[in-house]
A and B are shown apart, each in its own frame.
Chain A
């Protein structure tokens, strides 16, 4: 006879509209799947946190996001086992007292972003933060981490908090952001305290014609897919160890339900990785014409632009722009446009059941045949074969392997292209 394990009633107090909280909940779920722990989970139907009456709740334990001081306060009156999760603090005094705490290591998140910008060759640095508020103390902790690193390295960092966004003041907000970026020395590496914040700044840069990453190399925190989808230039980001935080919190509560007490246990979880995409792939390209052209190509390559349009945007002749490109990059403007289109098509082919014709259109190829020819010449295979290779290598990877395809592909140097677009206008 197998013994039926006792069912525990566990409340998860999180704000599921944040990617951070969602991934922690996912980690809790992963832990439960891997063990025989049997928990009934109490979550609001919209996955948001509501504290009213929590002290009267008849359950066995709680895991809660303590970034909001209201949660901290409400749970101080609760006598159930509670595990807190949230951001790390530089100052010991800022942690909630007598409660096990699982933290994302704010200092290491910022340090990973900073080290990346240094390696990209930048020498000026700034931090785009948030207006100070009780509910975003993590943003201030990230600012502090940034300032500590600046001090350590004897650098003058620039911190900008801006204002909170709302519809009526939206235009002013963007103007202020643009004014701030314009006031900074260039080129500069900017760490935004979240991807949401990074996305706003990226958009402001694009509005103002400030080239990313040539003039502003930008990196956020969270690796939020939504922020990535909503930007024309793919956004680099630091990946938090949120799933592991969820597993850790669930493990601690699991032990506490069986009598263990961990009031002074504090576990700091380092970042899980970094997703380096175009927004921070700064290379020391000095000629302003090339920088401006790259900025335009990056945004519009997939809309079928030609060298003329790029030259018009930069304000020089087609032949002189080509001359600058060949000198700085060793390839023509046309090659560079094609390289972006090919990369975009390769990314799209990683998803199963993709329609080749749709991909050709959305990546700016004039025809399926032309995309086919580009693939054959550059990669030695057809788009379909490329897709099959990618899927095969994805399924051949054992379950333990960390997904890496996107980063690996994005970072693989593309060979110089020597294709010329067919002139028959097909």
Chain B
């Protein structure tokens, strides 16, 4: 099966052809940790990692076969573009022109619309550093202007860190907000994620309206949303809270603490790569540490997973997985900081987000 085409100091990549013309690529580090990525949607399929006793499990949620990924309604593991999260009514104004883009979640745009990046066939390019996938998104795709060339580079190091480096260019101004939509369950599916202990380095988050469009910035202090100190997810879901009721759990964007803002030429107010969140599962001892250059981190507690038939024998249930999606703010293209999410010709969009998996205790 494995056609080895790259051998590096830190990891090996092997590829396996699958149905629908999809090819799977596996990054493997020196400790035999393995991450499998599909060229359909540059999607994270599996991440095999040991627990504190050395037992391996796949800590990502996903489908049993590739048919599921052709529609992938929960966005399992995909690279999301051109726009991660929601745009109210699928409308924005750019340089005086009004745009109407795909509305695929009620009246709103979500995660790139019907033909989002996560459903597209990406092209794999040889890269000495890791697995590089590129996608040409044509002018008018999902209603967005400009031909966009996007690229992600996946790297897996021997410390268990999966880095995702994003770059993108365009030939006409367009909103751009990329993210990775991996669903994690650190116990490998032995139970839900309610006993996972989460911390997020954010003092504020965006409250949403009943249609999950950001309505205002709120302090996390004194609320169920305060994860500045580690707290278990399940009990927080049980705190009486209007925002939790509205979203059926956590589905909110955190405004990450800003450190050493380094505005690049695109004016995106990029941050230095810094640790922004950790999730620890006391049962398995696995810990996930998230680092990013982005300003926003969407925490989603798998509220809509109920009944989704994934790769386990039983269908997924609510809170069987969580997502931590590093990104710009939802609907930012209609907010005061809209210019920061516009990519213009001659500029390069850059983001680095890393997920590091370790064991404790």
- A residues apposed to B, CB below 8 Å: 30-31, 34-37, 108, 112, 115, 119, 239, 241, 243-244, 247-248, 251-252, 254-255, 260, 262, 265, 267-276, 398-402, 404, 407-408, 411
Contacts and interface: CB of A to CB of B under 8 A. Distances in A.
Contacts of B278: 400-402
Given A248-B239, A270-B282, A400-B199, A119 B53 contact: yes
Contact of B361 (A34, A251, A254, A273): A273
Please name the 10 residue pairs, one residue from A and one from B, whose CB atoms are nearest each other, closest first: A35-B222, A407-B361, A400-B199, A270-B195, A119-B53, A273-B282, A267-B238, A34-B221, A400-B201, A404-B360
A247 B52 contact: no
B310 interface: no
B229 interface: yes
Contacts of B232: 241, 244, 269-270, 272
Contacts of A401: 199, 275, 278
Contacts of B52: 119, 276, 411
B336 interface: no
A253 B157 CA distance: 47
Contacts of A239: 282
Contacts of A254: 222
B230 A269 contact: no
Nearest to B239: A251
B235 interface: yes
B197 interface: yes
A265 B52 CA distance: 35
B229 A260 contact: no
Contact of A402 (B199, B201, B221, B226): B199
15 contacts: A31-B222, A108-B195, A119-B53, A260-B240, A265-B238, A267-B238, A267-B239, A268-B234, A270-B194, A273-B282, A399-B228, A401-B275, A402-B199, A404-B360, A407-B360
**Considering residues A30, A31, A275, A401, which has the most beta carbons from chain B within 10 angstroms of its beta carbon?**
A401
Contact of B283 (A37, A115, A244, A248): A115
B165 to A, nearest CB: 22
B133 interface: no
A280 to B, nearest CB: 11
Interface string B168-208: 00000000000000000000000000110101110000000
Contacts of B239: 248, 251, 267
B185 to A, nearest CB: 15
- Chain B contact residues, majority secondary structure: loop
B361 A411 contact: yes
A36 B274 CA distance: 29
Interface residues of B, number: 36
Nearest to B281: A273
A316 B274 CA distance: 57
B282 A34 contact: no
Given A268-B235, A273-B361, A411-B52, A112 B201 contact: no
B335 to A, nearest CB: 26
Nearest to A238: B282
A244 B235 contact: yes
Nearest to A33: B221
A34 B360 contact: no
Contacts, number: 103
Given A35-B222, A401-B199, A274 B282 contact: yes
A170 B305 CA distance: 56
A255 B195 contact: no
Given A271-B195, A272-B232, A402-B197, 9 more contacts: A108-B195, A119-B52, A119-B55, A251-B222, A269-B235, A270-B194, A273-B197, A274-B282, A401-B275
A400 B228 contact: yes
B142 interface: no
B282 A30 contact: no
Given A400-B200, A401-B278, A270 B235 contact: yes
A398 B278 CA distance: 11
Contact of A262 (B227, B240, B275, B361): B240
B280 A402 contact: yes
Interface string B3-43: 00000000000000000000000000000000000000000
A404 B280 CA distance: 11
Nearest to B51: A119
A400 B254 CA distance: 14
Contacts of A247: 231
Interface string B245-263: 0000000000000000000
A419 to B, nearest CB: 27
Contact of A34 (B226, B234, B235): B226
Nearest to B195: A270
A263 to B, nearest CB: 12
Given A272-B282, A275-B361, A398 B201 contact: yes
Contacts of B235: 241, 244, 248, 267-270
B22 to A, nearest CB: 37
A38 to B, nearest CB: 12
B199 A408 contact: no
Contact of B230 (A35, A112, A400, A408): A400
A51 B302 CA distance: 44
B280 A112 contact: no
Contacts of B238: 265, 267-268
Contact of A30 (B195, B229, B280): B229
Contact of A244 (B53, B221, B228, B231): B231
A272 B229 CA distance: 12
A402 B230 contact: yes
A339 B86 CA distance: 56
Nearest to B54: A119
A271 B222 contact: no
Nearest to B229: A30
A303 to B, nearest CB: 28
B158 to A, nearest CB: 15
Contacts of B228: 34, 399-400
A407 B285 CA distance: 10
Nearest to A275: B361
Nearest to B220: A34
A36 B222 CA distance: 8
